[in-house]
Amino acid sequence: MVDPKIETSWKKVLWDEFQKPYFETLKAFLVEEKKRFTIYPSGANIFAAFDHTPFDKVKVVILGQDPYHGIHQAHGLSFSVQEGVPHPPSLQNIFKELHDDLGCPIPQNGTLSAWANQGVFLLNTVLTVRAGEANSHRGQGWEIFTDEVIKRLNAQKEHLVFILWGSPAGAKASLIDAKKHLILRSVHPSPLSSYRGFFGSKPFSKSNDYLIQTKQQPIQWCLS
């Protein structure tokens, strides 16, 4: 039986998923990977997005791809880095759009836990990665799991905001009922695509407008 260390409300929602054969296989894969490689984030932070944002508190979902693979970067929240770590290019562009959208100062700190603690669920589609090798844990079972997470949020909650940046995230729109939730899609904030529609997309103000319209507390997006 798999019994992961994850926040209580999520464990209840996802318990049956943890018992499926693919998750047993995924766990075995990670055990073997850790014997041979450095894996990010640390084991204690693999489910950090869930721990920071309990199921009943989720208001906004920002979907990333897989964790940063550089030293000291990933800590279980999509697009976020640990305190004191230089901002990766995608995060720099997120902060630039945040400034242009809401006038927020560019934060010194790249940690997004303040968002997560307000109900912004910072989910990656793959929750682990081998150090120095982007996408190295793709296709091992995490995508099955995180698709199920999205499906259960879609089915069991109403009036969420799903922010989907880039093609892989945008493909998840098929799992979401646009009549129940707001879907905000754009290109990825990476330097390769940010000028093709990420800048000027105003995801932060649009999220708050929707939360206010649906009688929810808006997110305090400014981090400094």
Is 66 labeled as catalytic in the residue annotation? yes
Per the DSSP assignment, residues forming a β-bridge with 62 are: 122, 163
Six-digit token pair at 220?
Answer: 């305090």
Q: Tell me the C-alpha distance between 152 and 86, whole Å.
A: 34
Q: Tell me the C-alpha distance between 7 and 154, whole Å.
A: 19
Cβ atoms of 104 and 202 within 8 Å: the answer is no
Catalytic residue among 56, 66, 101, 147: 66
Per-position b or e across 186-218, b if 16+ CB within 10 A of its CB: bbbbeeebbeeebbebbbbeebbebbeeeebeb
Catalytic residues: 66
